[in-house]
Amino acid sequence: MQVLTVNQVLQWTPFEDNNSKFERILYISPDQDYLYVINLNAEDFPVMRLVEDVSTAILSEEARVVNFSTEVEKFSYESLPDDRKEEIDEAWNAIKELVENEPYIYVSDYRGPMVTDCMNKTGFSMPRVHRCLKKYWRSGKIKIGLLNHYHNCGGRGSDKVATNLTAKRGRKRKITRLEPEKVGINTDDYVLKKFKFAYRKYHLRENLSLRESFKKMLRTFFISLYEEGNGRIKPVLLPREQRPEFKTFCYYVNKFKNSNFIGDSLALVGERRFNLELRAKIGNQTKAALAPGSVFHIDATIADIYLTSSYREFLPIGRPVIYSVIDLFSHFIVGLYIGFEGPSYLGAAMAIYNTGSSKVEYCRKLGIPIAEEDWPAVYLPRQFTADRGEMLTKKNTGLRNLLGVDIEYMAPYRADWKALVESFFNVYKVGAISRLPGEVSMEMRRRGDPDPRTKAVLTLREFSEIMIDLAIWHNNDHWMKGYELDEHMIAEGIKPIPRDLWLWGMKRRGHCLRTFQEDVLKINLLPTETGRITNLGIKFKGIHYKCDQAIREGWFVDGNPRMGQQLNIAYDPRFTDKVILKGENGIGYQELVMIDPDHNAKEKTWDEFLHILEVIDLEHEVYKEAEEQAEAVKGYNRDKITETAKLIKQAAGSNHSKPINGIAERKAMEKELNRAKEHFFYNNPNEEVSFDDNEINGDNVVLSETSINKQEASEEKAIGNARLMALLSEQAMKSS
C-alpha cells in the first residue's frame, strides 16, 4: 500500500496526456482520514480529499505518485540580490501566521477572516495575499517559493522587432532638443537583417572592426542617391535620422554573439584555429594511460636554431629536426632523434629505434657518459600516438605486423589531441634553444637586424649534447607542477618527477613495455616493399641484387619454380648498395648485394636514383614525338616497297600454283650474282648485273650465249667456283 506524505505530488489519469492533472499534498489529518491538495495546473485554492479515496485511486491505477520539482527549488536564497531577498522576506512575514494555522487556512470559512486581518496588518491587498498563499503552497511550502518570477517576464532572448506602428524606442537623441522631428528610426525587420549581414560578412568573414563594418553597411544599404561630380560618382547617405546609430548596431551584435557564441567563434577564426586555441580544455589526457608503456606520443618539430657544418667550420647548414617520444603516463622522455632526416618516416624510424635501444650506448657515441639508471628506457610501448603525417604510411608494416606495436592516428589539424608531446616543443625552446647563437626569434626581423644564420656556431653533435642534457634533467629532476597525482601516489609520497612516476608505475601498475633485440628492431623499422625474382637477379626498384642462397638454389635459372615470385625487401632510403631480404613468413633475414658493381645507382640514395629514372622517363617522354615520327616514316617506306613489289609481281602474271622446285639453285645463282658487286674490290657501283627478258623462262633460269660469255669472263676474273661451273654446264646442256 502506498504511504502518503506531505509534499508528494499525485498525477491523475490520463497519464500520457499533456494536460494531465497534478496535485500536491499540503496537509494530512492526524487520524489519516482526509487530506488537502492544491491543483498545480490551475489557480484554485486547496481542496479536501479522503485518504481512502486517494489510496483506492492509486491501487486502481487512476492516480500515481510522481517526482515533481518546481523551478524555485533550483534557486539559492544566498545568491539572490538584496532587493529580491527583501521581497521574499516581506511576503513571508505577511503570511507566516496564516500558513502555520493548519488545517483552518485551507477552509474558506476560516480563511476569509484571517486574510482580512492580514490585510489590515500589512497593507497588502486581498489578491496579493491570495497570490502569496498559492505560490507558497504550490512550491512545496518553502520560503523561496514566494520569489517573484521576474526572470520569466519580458521575453528574454527573443527579438522584439519593431514595426511601422511602433513608437520610437530607446533614449531620445540630443538633437531632438533643437529639432524634435529628428527622433530617429526603430530597428525593424529590414534594419535587423542588415545588422546580421554586416556582422557576419564584414566583421566575421572580412575581419573588419565593428566600426568599419558599420560604416561599410551604411554606404552599402543606407544610400539615398548617387551623384556625379568632377567626373566621379559618389554615394549620398540618408539623413542621420533615417539611418541607425553605431551604438544600436553594437547592441544587436552583442545579442548575436550571446545567442550563437560558438558558431560566431568558428566563423571568426575558423574551425582549425578554434579547435586548437579556443576550444573548451576539459579532461586530462594523462588519465588515458594506466601504466608506463600504455601510450607513447611521437611527433617532430623543426628546431628554431641554425647549425653549422662539422666539416667546414662556421658555415650554416640549416635547422635540425627534433623527434620526441614521450610516455603519456609518466611524461618520461623515452626517445629522441636530432638530425636532418625529416620530417619523414626515416626520421620517425630513427626516433623509434632510439626508443627501444640503449641510451647509454647512444650517449657514449656523443661523448656523454651516463649510467643506466639515468635514462632507463629501452622499450617499445603497446601503442604509439602520432599525427597523420610520416607515420601514416605502408612503410611501417614491420612495426605493426611483426613487432606488434599499434599506431593511433590523430585527426587532421588536431595537435591538441596529443598535446603532451606538442607542449614539449615549447620546453625545448625555453629550456635549451633560447638565447643560443643562431636562434630563430619568433619576432619579425626588423630592417638592419643581423641574419641568425650568420650567428650559428653549434654543430649537430654539440646541439645534440645540449638536448640530451635537457632530456636527462627533465626525466630525473624536473618537478611537474601541473601533474595530477592520484590518491595512491600521494599516500606513498611519490613526487611528480618523471623518473619517480615511471618507476612507481612499473612497480604498482605493471607496464605494457616490450623489449626487442636491436638488430631485429632495425630491420623491422626499415621501410618494406616488394621485389621480384627474375633470370637477371632479384629486381627491386630497377636494380638487380643477389645473395648466396639465391645462387646456391638456382633462383635465377629458367624453369625454377620460384621464378617471378614476389619478395619482401627492407631498405634504407639513404643507401642503394645493400638491401635486406626478409624471410618467408617473417622468419629470418639476409643481405642482398648489388650484382653490377658499376651500376649508376652505386653510392647514391634511393631518392637520387629514382630521380635519375624519373629524369630519363621525362626525357623519353619528350623524345617520343620524334620517335613516333621516325617510326611512321619507316612504316610508310616498308608499306610502299611492299605494295610496289606486289604490283610488279601482279604485272608479271606470276602464279602461286607454279612448281617451287629449284629454289636452292636460284638462291645459289642469286648469291653468285650479288657477289659480283658485293666484293671489297668492286669499284663500279653504277654497273648493274641483270638478266635479259629472254633469260627468264618460268621457274628456270635460261642463260643466253651472251650471258654465258659474261659468266665465263667473270669466272675467269674470279678465283673460280666449281659449284658455279657445274651449274652453268648443266644449264647449257638443258638449253641445247
Lowest mean pLDDT among 72-76, 105-109, 130-134, 219-223: 72-76
Give the pLDDT of residue 120: 92
Residue 700: pLDDT above 60? no
Which one-letter DSSP state was computed for residue 418?
G
Give the pLDDT of residue 650: 83
Residues 6+ apart with CB under 8 A from 461: 310, 366
- State the average pLDDT for the chain: 80
Lowest mean pLDDT among 141-155, 360-374, 700-714: 700-714
Task: State the average pLDDT over residues 674-680.
Answer: 79
Give the pLDDT of residue 664: 85
The CA radius of gyration of the chain, in Å to the nearest whole number, is 50
Give the pLDDT of residue 582: 81
Give the pLDDT of residue 520: 79
Q: Which residue has the cell 544610400?
A: 223
Residue 277: pLDDT above 70? no
Question: Any idea where the domains of the chain sit in the sequence?
Answer: 9-68, 72-152, 184-273, 285-509, 526-604, 663-735
Task: State the average pLDDT over residues 545-574.
Answer: 87
Lowest mean pLDDT among 195-204, 243-252, 291-300, 696-705: 696-705
For domain 285-509, is the CATH number 3.30.420.10? Answer: yes
Secondary-structure breakdown of the chain: helix, strand, coil percentages, each rounded to the nearest 5: 45, 15, 40
**pLDDT tens, residue by residue, 33-79:** 999 999 988 889 999 999 999 999 989 988 888 888 777 777 777 77
Give the pLDDT of residue 692: 46
Residue 116: pLDDT above 90? yes
Give the pLDDT of residue 148: 83
Give the pLDDT of residue 657: 52
Rounded Cα distance, 714 and 724, in Å: 11
How far, rounded to the nearest angstrom, does the alpha carbon of residue 434 sit from its chain's CA centroid?
31
Task: State the average pLDDT over residues 571-592.
Answer: 77
Residue 86: pLDDT above 70? yes
Rounded Cα distance, 110 and 112, in Å: 6
Burial class from Cβ neighbours inside 10 Å (0-12, 13-18, 19+) for residue 418 reads: buried
Task: State the average pLDDT over residues 97-119.
Answer: 91
Lowest mean pLDDT among 532-536, 581-585, 632-636: 581-585
The residue ranking higher by pLDDT, 386 or 151, is: 386
Give the pLDDT of residue 693: 44
Question: Model-level pTM?
Answer: 0.56
Q: What is the secondary structure of 332-357 as a DSSP string?
A: -EEEEEEESS-SSHHHHHHHHHHHTS
